[in-house]
Amino acid sequence: MPSPGAGDRAGAGKILVGTASWTNRSLLDSGWYPDDASTPAERLAYYASRFPIVEVDATYYHPPAQRTVEIWRDRTPDGFVFNVKAFALLTNHPTRPQSLYKDLREKLGTPKRNLYLRDVGPEITEEVWQRFLSALSPLQEAGKLGAILFQFPPWFPIGKAGRSYILECARRCRPMRVCVEFRNHTWMDEKNRARTLDFLASHDIPYVCVDMPQGHPSSIPPILAVTSGLAVIRLHGHSGRWTSGNIEERFAYLYSEAELRRWAARIEQLAEDARTTNVIFNNCCADNSQRNAERFAALVCHRDASGVEHGSD
């Protein structure tokens, strides 16, 4: 059975708690997996026995093969949920040519070091969209696809072009659901915050609420808002090395008990306005995210309607 956080709670929507990735090297080296979970199949099965949801980060770097997605589907129990990060090229991030499908890469000849949609042309763009979404169909058909996460870069500011592209992404993905995370402050500054949330709500697109280091060009304030039946929260931590090129340094943060309790109270209140709330810990250094997610799940599952905590460790 999935760990606490998978079930419905009286008076509120369902809260699913999990982590971003289950295969990163520092996690494998941390000792979180037992010795008898030594293969990819065993590790995914063990993860799915502890959590009801996972975010797939690898799809940002390389679009998945459909056979890989079928394996994810087949190695997890009914009701398990995958949120899938959109391929970098589709979110206007720089994309290494080696990440493209081989035949499409060959069509480009000798491309630049990094590619953007403007570099590949409409024909290849259409192919990438079609193949990426087709590969996810086994999860969608099995009811195991939660949402496709579109995390837009710092150079994606608020404006007509940005809103149009978000709607294009949502349209292309239907009936799959998308959710949107910003890394440009203009979307969520005091001047534009209400307009951004109204825009997403009017199109039934979930806003991804974030907790992240502040004071950087990519910083988004920790605003909680429901703009659809699905609410998504991603907790990135507060590493002092947020701008580091080393992923482990960037996410080397362990939430304290006091922080987890504050977030539990806030997210439980948010969940009152959503049918389902996904809480993803992305402080993926060693087993930080797993430890925090397990404790957080216990906190949100051991409160009654009065908000009094019961049975916590």
User: Angle at Cα 196 formed by Cα 194 and Cα 201, nearest 5°?
Assistant: 90
Give the whole-angstrom CA distance, residue 295 versus residue 71.
29
Name the phi and psi angles at 309, rounded to 5: -80, 140
| pLDDT score at 243 | 66
Mean pLDDT over residues 149-171, rounded?
97
What is the predicted pLDDT for the residue at 78?
96
- Asked if 213 contacts 219 with a C-beta cutoff of 8 angstroms, the reply is yes
Residue-wise pLDDT for 206-246, tens only, equals: 999 999 888 888 889 999 999 999 999 999 888 767 666 66
pTM: 0.90
> Measured between alpha carbons, how far is 44 from 40 in angstroms, rounded to an integer?
6
Q: Tell me the per-residue pLDDT of 260-289, one tens digit each, with 9 for 90 and over.
A: 999 999 999 999 999 999 999 999 888 999
pLDDT at site 217: 81
Q: What is the crossing angle of helices 288-301 and 257-271, to 10°? A: 50
Checking if the pLDDT of 10 tops 90, the result is: no
Q: What is the pLDDT of residue 12?
A: 58
Pull the structure tokens for residue 8: 């419905």
pLDDT in tens, 15-40: 999 999 899 889 999 999 999 999 99
**Domains observed in the chain:** 14-301 (3.20.20.410)
Q: Provide the mean pLDDT of the chain.
A: 89
Rounded mean pLDDT of 99-106? Answer: 92
